[in-house]
Copies of this chain bind each other. A is one copy, B any other.
C-alpha cells in the first residue's frame, strides 16, 4: 500500500540519499577518494554527542538511529537514517560538537569520508553546497513537524506515526509481503517518547484492532490505513 495522498511521509524523512547520487562525477570522485569502509554491529555507536566530528558518514547499507541522551540517561531517538543517507555533516558545517549520537539499529556498512575532503569538495563545488542547503532546509520541515507532534499529540498517536514511518524504512521493495518492523520495544519507546509499558499496551490495542501482528519483538503491519486514521493524519 502506498502512502501517497494518505500520509505525508516526506515530512518524516530527510533527503540526503539524493546527494551522493546526483553529484557530478568529478565531485563525487573527490569526495569519495579517501572513503574508508566500516562495519557496525547492531547497537554499535558511530559517534557520540558532545564529541568533535572527524568526518562525514555515508550509510552504504543498514539503519542508524540518531538520538540524544539526557542527564538522566533517557534516550530520545530523533531520526532513523536508512541506506543511502548521509550522517554527521551538521556538526562539521556548524563547527560545533555533535548535537546527537548515532548508533546502528542493525548490522550496517558505513563509508567514512574525512572531514577535510568534505570541506574541500564543498569549497570547490556548487552542486554539493546547493544540495546540502536543500537537504538541510527540508530537514527543518521534518524537525518542525516532529516538534508539533511531540508537543501536541498523544502517545497513541505518536506510536501510530512511528509505526507508519518505520514501515516505510523497513519496506523491502522487492517483496509484496506485509512489512516486518524489527526494533526493540525500548527503541520504539524512545522514538515515541514514552515508556516501554505504554508502548506495549498500545501495541496490544493495535493488535486487537487488527492493525498489526507481533511475533516476538517483530511487528508485522497488517493495515496501515487504520494506523493512519489513528495517527491523526486520517483523511488528510
Residues on A lying within 8 angstroms of B by beta carbon are 11, 68, 70-71, 74, 76, 78, 89-96, 99-100, 122, 129-130, 132-141, 143-148, 150-152, 193, 232
Contacts and interface: CB of A to CB of B under 8 A. Distances in A.
Interface of A is mostly: helix
Given A76-B148, A133-B133, A146-B147, 14 more contacts: A68-B148, A90-B140, A90-B141, A91-B137, A92-B137, A93-B136, A94-B137, A94-B141, A95-B134, A96-B138, A140-B140, A143-B147, A147-B147, A150-B193
Contact of A129 (B129, B137, B138): B129
A137 B78 contact: no
Contacts of A90: 137, 140-141
Contacts of A89: 137
Contacts of A148: 68, 70, 76, 78
Contact of A140 (B136, B147, B150, B151): B136
